[in-house]
Amino acid sequence: MQMVTRLFVSFALIGLAAYGGGLVTIPLIQHEIVDNRNWLNLAEMAQIVAIAQMTPGPIAINAATFTGFRLAGVVGAAVATLAVVLPSISVLGLLTPLLERAGQSRHVQKLRQGIQIGVLSLILFAVWSYGRGVIAAWPDMLLAGASFLFLVLFEARLHPIVVILAGGVVGLVVF
């Protein structure tokens, strides 16, 4: 029972702080699940992110489902997933009417620009921390570089899942 409560609190915190969404939440999840709670180590966390990229849905939800399931079975998965989405829904519900009125004000615009700077720094940090856990040798670096070129060159035409799946196939063949 205690584990379920702790899962709820941790993932509600992640949900509440998850500005920018998507891969930006990696540092947040890492901070809470790996550094604070020691529920997973960095390598396991990297595995979850890899698996999450192959399944549909935002990464925070995927991570909640996986971690909850791993620590407390189906109940854990349900509680963690619910906890990670609730803050977003409640904050949106409470604040939207206020912001509809203030939305065009200069302060709100500036606030948004500030948030974007913070989000950018978080992504760069995710590259750094996640990269240290993942890139162990030159071949890894090469593959990351190749994937990056593909993403940039074919940005409009190539669905990101193609790059993910191609990475998986290369891994199957090489190792």
Partner 1 sequence: MALLHLFCAFFKVGLFAIGGAYSFLPLMQKEVVESHKWMDEDEFSHIVGMVELFPGAISIKFATYTGYKVAGVPGAIVANVANLLPPVLFMTVASLLYLRYGGVPAVKGALAMVRCAVIAMLIAIAIKLAQTHVPLSLKAVPVLVASFLLLTLTKIHPALVIIGAALYGGLVR
Which residues inside 32-61 make contact with partner 1, applying CB under 8 A?
Answer: 35, 46-47, 49-61
CB of 63 to partner 1, least distance (A): 9
CB of 24 to partner 1, least distance (A): 8
CB of 10 to partner 1, least distance (A): 13
Indicate the residue among 5 and 115 with the shorter CB distance to partner 1.
Answer: 115
Residue 105, phi-psi category: left (phi > 0), alpha (psi -120 to 50), beta (remainder): beta
Distance CA 142, CA 122 (A): 24
Indicate the residue among 9 and 164 with the shorter CB distance to partner 1.
Answer: 164
Q: Name the token pair of 4.
A: 């379920």
Among positions 89-128, residues that touch partner 1 (CB under 8 A) are 89, 91-93, 95-96, 99, 103, 107-108, 110-128
The verdict on 88 binding partner 1 (CB under 8 A) reads: yes
The verdict on 153 binding partner 1 (CB under 8 A) reads: no
- With beta carbons less than 8 A apart as the criterion, state whether 17 and 83 touch: no
CB of 29 to partner 1, least distance (A): 10
| Block residue for tokens 């974007």 | 116
Q: Which residues make Cβ contacts (< 8 Å) with residue 83, sequence separation at least 6?
A: 7, 8, 9, 10, 11, 12, 15, 64
Among 4, 18, 40, 79, which residue sits at the site for partner 1 (rule: CB under 8 A)?
A: 18
Q: Give phi and psi for 21, each to the nearest 5.
A: 65, -175
The verdict on 76 binding partner 1 (CB under 8 A) reads: no
How many other CB atoms sit within 10 Å of the CB of residue 133? Answer: 16
Q: How many chain residues are in contact with partner 1, going by CB under 8 A?
A: 100
Residue 57, phi-psi category: left (phi > 0), alpha (psi -120 to 50), beta (remainder): left
CB of 83 to partner 1, least distance (A): 12
Among 15, 33, 34, 83, which residue sits at the site for partner 1 (rule: CB under 8 A)?
A: 15
